[in-house]
Amino acid sequence: MAYTLMDACAAAGTIRADISPTDMGAALEGIAVTSAMPEHRERAERLLDLTLDGLRARS
């Protein structure tokens, strides 16, 4: 398995270690689909904020 940016961040303790690149890709794909329509832009931004917040390492 290749060492990814997410692996490096997890090793440094800046993001959760239980989220895989595949999980992140799926989340971002869903946000991209949501943002395809201009009237859903605000929702997509909220979902991105939620996703990035969910990546933060818990202390």
> 2-58, pLDDT tens digit by residue?
578 999 999 999 999 998 888 999 999 999 998 888 899 999 999 999 999 999 998
Indicate the angle between helix axes 41-55 and 21-34, nearest 10 degrees.
160
pTM: 0.75
Q: Cα–Cα distance between 44 and 59 in angstroms, integer?
A: 28
Structural domain spans, the chain: 5-55
Q: Cα–Cα distance between 20 and 45 in angstroms, integer?
A: 22
Q: What is the DSSP letter of 13?
A: T
Does residue 1 surpass a pLDDT of 60? no
